[in-house]
Copies of this chain bind each other. A is one copy, B any other.
């Protein structure tokens, strides 16, 4: 009997490691048996390989997350977590590349469809959902200027330089002008996750944050549309009228995508209002999540821009539908969107590192890479500085003589230039390049993206000091996230002055979320960055007592619980929110007030489930 068990044990070990004599028990993920050993069409074997592939990927993710925690805990600023993620990916990619067998390598290769359909939507949705709407729309002019003409200028400059370089014949590449423009478009999508998390840690002025954040959101979409437009002209002769054709097409796409997103957001608000689905929070959460994603896929399927739709769907959801949800759904959608976005972002950086070694068809040309990197700087420069002057000129003209114009000072322009690191959208787009040189171009884009992340991302902290940009801005933070035990609560004494209540955010890296960084530049309660970087602040009990209990609105049992930081229990706006309203009215242009009035008088009564007069408190609810 014992011999049977012994033999069974041996069988087990053999089965687990498939008879590979080169077993290195410390690193199970490299014991990839030779292909000759296995019937690779056997689904069981395939499943084991896919299990190992997923195990490796998840392990990379866990390492990236743990590094993120460690860096924040030890307050290490020399290296940023996104850079670390890329390095982990590179290391593991190298290991996979040199080990025998190719199944795992095939499984972990970068798939652009997978990126666009699975990894990107959560990030966009969370960005829209957590967007600080007041700041965003206050700076919408600058944002749109940098996003649309800025991306266009950047693509054209980049494409032109690349075309000239490759025409010189030094590389053995021959790019048509349209193809060069395509590459320019892919490399114009910025991805400032790294920069924004550093901004958050330093509490940089939210205006700068918002501009960079908003621009990056939109120029992903615009790069994609521009890329697809260029691809349409592939192998065709471009005419001068093509520019107008492209521009018209683009504007139409943008507008229709925006309308799709807003329409779906409004649809959700109406459904939640007129049905009783609020009674089933589990179903409700799934429902909201799925419909938001539907906007993305529907828009993409109609050849519109899914990103723009999803972004504005998220914004609309937060503005209307959020207040029709049950409390549980409010919380779960928020947490789930954040978690998915967080996982996706880390995954993307890890994937970038992996792809450097596991992509089998890459042709590296160092000179081209260097030239492209320099061109990116030139293109970014040409986009940011002239347009900043345009924006400032327009603001000065609008402000006239009496008001202080809302200008973008030179340090901010410089920082915006510095925030032009490229990201995974560029790589994903580059996988769609056609033609005989696609391997070279893909390799170039990949390396350039990684380089910009390391170079620009790693030096951002230094640049903030060099440029003397104001840090440590007090964040007047209205979140209804009562479980953020890391965020000390405002005390219940609401003072009548214009000073807003303070809130310290020690959990950095909100990853495309900027709810924690809204303030008015006029506040004089600025703290030094070191205060904010103290990771282990004591949470005094009296501050925590300030958390009002979760009691639903006494009006009706079916009213969702509007827990807002400054509300007293009866749901009437507290004094701080009135103060906030006054302040925001001072800051908002008169031109945009029409929408606020329209929103309060017409839209909210139609779309929301409650008496809007009980819920209105200006920008405090976003």
Contact = CB atoms under 8 A, between A and B. Distances in A.
Interface of A: 4-5, 8-9, 11-12, 15-16, 28, 42-44, 46-48, 50-52, 54-55, 58-59, 61-62, 65-66, 68-69, 72-73, 112-113, 116-117, 228, 231, 244-245, 248-249, 252-253, 256, 275-277, 279-283, 285-287, 289-291, 293-294, 296-298, 300-304, 306, 326-328, 331-332, 335-336, 338-339, 342-343, 346, 431-432, 434, 481-486, 506-507, 535-536, 538-539, 541, 544-545, 547-552, 554, 557, 561
Contacts of A281: 483-486, 507
Contacts of A294: 55, 58-59, 62
Nearest to A432: B43
A16 B485 contact: no
Given A58-B293, A65-B290, A547-B549, A300 B117 contact: no
A423 to B, nearest CB: 18
Q: Which of A59, A483, A561 has the most CB of B within 10 A?
A: A483
Contacts of A547: 549-551
A62 B328 contact: no
A550 B551 contact: no
9 contacts: A46-B113, A47-B113, A54-B117, A54-B297, A276-B535, A279-B506, A328-B485, A332-B332, A547-B551
Given A54-B293, A69-B280, A485-B557, 9 more contacts: A12-B256, A16-B302, A51-B298, A62-B287, A68-B283, A285-B339, A326-B485, A331-B331, A336-B336
Given A16-B304, A551-B547, A290 B58 contact: yes
B65 A287 contact: yes
Interface of A is mostly: helix
Nearest to A482: B550
Nearest to A511: B282
A28 B301 contact: yes
Nearest to A68: B283
B535 A279 contact: yes
The 8 closest A-B pairs by CB, nearest first: A328-B483, A549-B549, A51-B300, A8-B248, A332-B335, A55-B297, A43-B432, A51-B301
Given A55-B298, A294-B62, A432-B43, A73 B551 contact: no
A47 B300 contact: yes
B507 A291 contact: no
Nearest to A277: B69
A548 to B, nearest CB: 8
Nearest to A300: B51
B280 A326 contact: no
A279 B62 contact: no
Contacts of A432: 43-44
B4 A244 contact: yes
B336 A431 contact: no
Contact of A507 (B16, B249, B282, B302): B282
A48 B301 CA distance: 5
Contacts of A300: 47-48, 51
B535 A554 contact: no
B328 A484 contact: yes
Contacts of A328: 335, 481, 483-485
A457 B154 CA distance: 61
Nearest to A287: B65
Contact of A286 (B48, B65, B291): B65
Given A44-B228, A51-B306, A301-B51, A252 B117 contact: no
A290 B61 contact: yes
A538 B557 contact: yes
A112 B46 CA distance: 10
Nearest to A332: B335
